[in-house]
Every structure is written in C-alpha cells, then in structure tokens.
Amino acid sequence: MNIFNFLKKLFSFSYKTEIETDTMKKFLIVGLGNIGEKYHNTRHNIGFRIVDAFVKEHEGSFETEKLGDIAKLKIKGKTVIVLKPNTYMNLSGKAVKYWMQKENIQVENLLVITDDLNIDFGKLRVKGKGSSGGHNGLKDIQDKFNTGAYPRFRFGVGADYSKGRQVDYVLGKWSADEESAMIERIPTSVNAVTSFINAGLANTMNEFNGK
C-alpha cells in the first residue's frame, strides 16, 4: 500500500469513528401526550409534563418544528433532542421515527416517557424493551419500528376507575392529592431522565425503578 492509500484509509477510519462517537453522544427524549388545552394536566399527558420540567431544569426551551415541539440541549458533552409530538397520542410513532432518522439517533439512545395504568401512582419504571401494555402511543411506536426493543420510562398513574371508565380516567385531571404529590415525583422523574443520558439504562433502572 502506497502512502496515499494508507493516509486515505487512515483518514476514512478516523472520520467513521468520529461519526460513530458523535452518534452515540446524541439522544432523543420523547414525552408522550395530546396537544390542546383540554388535555393539559391530564394523566395521559404526564410525558409532556416530565419533559417540560426536564427542559426547564437544563435551561432550554421548545420551538415548534415538524411533527412536534423540539428542544435541543447540551448535557455534559452530549446532544439531547427533546420531543413533544403534535400528532396526538395514537400517531406518536410518526414523529418519533421522523426525528430518529433526521438526527441519526441510535435506538438505544431513545427514551419514551409515558403514563402507565398498571403501576401505582407516582412509581417509576424504566425498561429497555417491552410490549405496549395497551398504551396507544407505545403501540404506534412499536408498529412504526416493528419492534418493542426500545427504552421506555413509565410513570404510574394507578387504576382508580370503575369498569369501562379507563378512557375517562386517563384523560381526566389529576386529583388535588395527586397534584400535591407531584411536587416530589416530577423532580425525581427529571433526575431519572438525566441519569439515562449520563449513566446509561442499566444504572438508571437500578437507581430509580420502584421509587
């Protein structure tokens, strides 16, 4: 191999490694919810509420872009894209897929934040994969990606509703007692998201699951 080809190969390897390193330092944090005043502060919109607090904590702001509101942050040398889809819950996958592809983000650096009826109010659960659990937002993401193998962060909203009233419950407002308890739960949730970015999935699961 002559010196020209050697340098060309060396440069190509270095450039490829740099791109791969940059890609691994880029994250997409998605809070699921429904747009519009009627859905503000409902149980189904806890994903929006957590990412709002997360962006505020890191001194960022949202701007409306294609398929959602977007905030772009820098956290300890990492680029963090925060998304609130404007597609409504049932079509969340369209926005998530678009921003994953646009920003060239690896699936292991995606974190989807949503409500969960099967977890007691205020309890947190972070997982690397799973089923939709009947959640329409997660179901659409799974359909668009053809897999359930992506990290998700579920915030427990409990299941204090009578038979046939599930939709009314998730689209209902938080009770006064729940709202009061949020003062503690939202900052803990923000810490969990920051941990996912800085410490990784496994460490975040160990520290925050069940809290």
Position 17 confidence tier, pLDDT thresholds 50, 70, 90: very low
Q: State how far the Cα of 93 lies from the Cα of 102, in Å rounded to an integer.
A: 14
Where in the sequence numbering do the catalytic residues fall? Answer: 44
Number of domains in the chain: 1
Q: What is the pTM of this model?
A: 0.87
> 75 lies in which domain range?
25-208
CB 37 within 8 A of CB 148: no
Per residue in 30-75, pLDDT (tens digit) is: 999 999 999 999 999 999 999 999 999 999 999 999 999 999 999 9
5 in a domain, yes or no? no
14 in a domain, yes or no? no
8 in a domain, yes or no? no
19 in a domain, yes or no? no
Q: Any idea which residue has 């409902």 for tokens?
A: 42
HSE-CB of 194 using CA atoms within 13 angstroms: 16
11 in a domain, yes or no? no
7 pLDDT above the threshold of 90? no
Per residue in 108-136, pLDDT (tens digit) is: 999 999 999 999 999 999 999 998 888 98
Helix, strand or coil, per DSSP, at residue 67? coil
210 pLDDT above the threshold of 90? no
The whole-number pLDDT of residue 164 equals: 78
CATH code for the domain of 156: 3.40.50.1470
Helix, strand, coil: what percent of the chain each, to 5?
50, 20, 30
The whole-number pLDDT of residue 19 equals: 45
135 in a domain, yes or no? yes
C-alpha distances out from residue 109 to 22, 35, 154, 201, Å: 12, 25, 16, 9
Strands 152-156 and 124-127: antiparallel
